[in-house]
Amino acid sequence: MKAELGVSDVVLDTGALADVLVQFIQSQVQSPPRFVQSQYISYEVARLLNRVVRSEGRFVVVASALAFVEMAHQWERIIADRINPVQLAAFLNDPPEWFAVAPVDQDLVPFFMDVSPAVTMPWGRVEPVEWTDAVHAATALSRDNAVLVSSDRRLKRLPGVRVVYSRS
């Protein structure tokens, strides 16, 4: 689905979260930040993010607590040398008003149960949905009319989840 669906809450997967954090931390002089195309932020996603951060609190950018855990687990591969752990801690301690960290708790379980464990790809092959990706999808489903930003093309095949592909 296209971001042209209008402004809504934007839920980030781990790769998109890493790029959003890097761009925000590196642009501290600019408020609100201006997101641009990068490894995990397509032009379409950058436009959507920029509309959300300028929505004066009507919409937010969201990442689950799990996305932060995944990012820390993959630190060397996706974020090292771009920001440091102190900057990440400062962000988590005082996130901007346009950002929310979604808990992974009992309230998310019914939405998680609604996420299919596998999807059928266009060529007919059935592929599993990783449980961590299912948490990102469930986080999107738990918010009214949210869109999920992901680099995983399988997630576009999930029923009921609006997904915008994040790769440039």
168 residues of the chain, pLDDT tens digit each? 333 446 789 999 999 999 999 999 988 766 789 999 999 999 999 999 999 999 998 999 999 999 999 999 999 998 888 999 999 999 999 999 999 999 999 999 999 999 999 999 999 999 999 999 999 999 999 998 899 999 999 999 999 999 998 875
Number of other residues whose CB lies within 10 A of the CB of residue 39 = 15
At 6 the pLDDT is 66
* Predicted pLDDT at 27: 85
**Residue ranges of domains in the chain, CATH in brackets:** 3-165 (3.40.50.1010)
Using one digit for the tens of pLDDT, what is the confidence trace for 92-130? 999 999 999 999 999 999 999 999 999 999 999 999 999
Provide the pLDDT for residue 2.
38
Question: Distance between CA atoms of 10 and 106, rounded to whole angstroms?
Answer: 21
| CA gap 66, 29 in Å, rounded | 29
DSSP readout, 82-99? TS-HHHHHHHHHS--TTE
